[in-house]
Amino acid sequence: MSSPPTHLAFEDLTPERRFDLGSVTVDRDEMLAFNRRFDPQPFHVDAEAARSSLFGGLCASGWFIASLWMRCYVDHVLAGSTSLGSPGGDEIAWPAPVFPGDTLAAAMDIVAARRSTSRPELGLVTLRGTLTRSSGPPAEVFRARFTGMFGLRSAGA
C-alpha cells in the first residue's frame, strides 16, 4: 500500500508555518437548513426579521461558519495526517456576519507546538484558523485558536 499523498505528523507542524485551506462559497439553502436545525434565531431564519436586524439580512449561524472552516481544515491538513482530535481552544470569534453567496478563503497558522509530557507519543499543536471574505469588501469573518493533538511520525504513526 502506498502512503497518502500528504501525511502530516506532529513534526511537520512547526510554529509560524501557514497552510492555505482553499475556499468555500456559502450555499443559501444549506445555510438555511443548518440555521433552522441548530440556530433558529430570527436573523438566521426569517428574511423579513433579518432585514431589520443589526445584520441587515439573513446570515449564517456562527456554528455553520465554524463547520465550513473545519471541512477546509480536514480536506487540506487533517486528511491523511496523524490527527488525534482536539480538547478545545481559547478563542473563537465571528468579527463580521456571513451572507449567502459569500466566498471565504480558509487558512491555518501554527502558533506553537510541543511534545506532551504525560503522553510522549503525541504532540500538542496550538493553531489559529481563519476565514476571510474574498468576495466583496474583504473582512475576516471567523477566527479560532485551539489545540490539535497529533501523533509523532517517529512513533510510527
Interface contacts to a copy of itself, rule CB under 8 A: 34, 37-41, 43, 53-55, 61-63, 66-68, 70-71, 74, 78-79, 83-95, 97, 143-144, 146
Which stretches of the chain are DSSP H helices? 28-38, 42-45, 47-51, 62-73
For residue 98, the surrounding DSSP H or E stretch is: none
Minimum gap (Å) between residue 54 Cβ and a copy of itself? 5
Minimum gap (Å) between residue 17 Cβ and a copy of itself? 20
User: Which residue, 5 or 85, has its beta carbon nearer to a copy of itself?
Assistant: 85
* Residues 151, 157: Cα–Cα separation, whole Å: 6
* Cell, residue 87: 480538547
User: Which residue, 63 or 153, has its beta carbon nearer to a copy of itself?
Assistant: 63
Minimum gap (Å) between residue 53 Cβ and a copy of itself? 8
Minimum gap (Å) between residue 45 Cβ and a copy of itself? 10
User: Which residue, 66 or 135, has its beta carbon nearer to a copy of itself?
Assistant: 66
Residue 150 burial by Cβ neighbours in a 10 Å radius (0-12, 13-18, 19+): buried
* Residues 150, 126: Cα–Cα separation, whole Å: 11
